[in-house]
Amino acid sequence: DAGVTQSPTHLIKTRGQQVTLRCSPKSGHDTVSWYQQALGQGPQFIFQYYEEEERQRGNFPDRFSGHQFPNYSSELNVNALLLGDSALYLCASSPLGYGYTFGSGTRLTVV
């Protein structure tokens, strides 16, 4: 049984560009959450999707947006990239509630 799958694993982008990260949740999970983890920090909650709608959102600007598809997979989009957006982006899936399964993340570097 595959766990949470994220792609790509690594990405290098230039300031001002846009990026799309992808996540396939664990089989049987219908809720997807996205986190940003800077080096040496705990994960910071970006937003959560359930039934193709954003249900909760953390303290992130509108440059961060997302989408959930009917098959429960999800995308995270970041526009107008800043150097400070460099981080590990984690996707976590769950049945609605806790008990998250995290993916291995996408390492984004903005230069």
Partner 1 sequence: QKEVEQDPGPLSVPEGAIVSLNCTYSNSAFQYFMWYRQYSRKGPELLMYTYSSGNKEDGRFTAQVDKSSKYISLFIRDSQPSDSATYLCAMSPNAGNNRKLIWGLGTSLAVNP
Interface residues toward partner 1, by CB under 8 A: 4, 33, 40-45, 48, 56-58, 90-92, 96-105
Residue 45 or 73: the one with the smaller Cβ distance to partner 1 is 45
CB-CB neighbours of 27 under 10 Å: 10
Structure tokens at 98: 């806790």
Please report, as a single letter, which amino acid is at residue 94: S
Q: For the CB of residue 11, give the shortest distance to partner 1 in the complex, in Å.
A: 14
CB-CB neighbours of 88 under 10 Å: 16
Q: For the CB of residue 23, give the shortest distance to partner 1 in the complex, in Å.
A: 11
Residue 20 or 60: the one with the smaller Cβ distance to partner 1 is 60
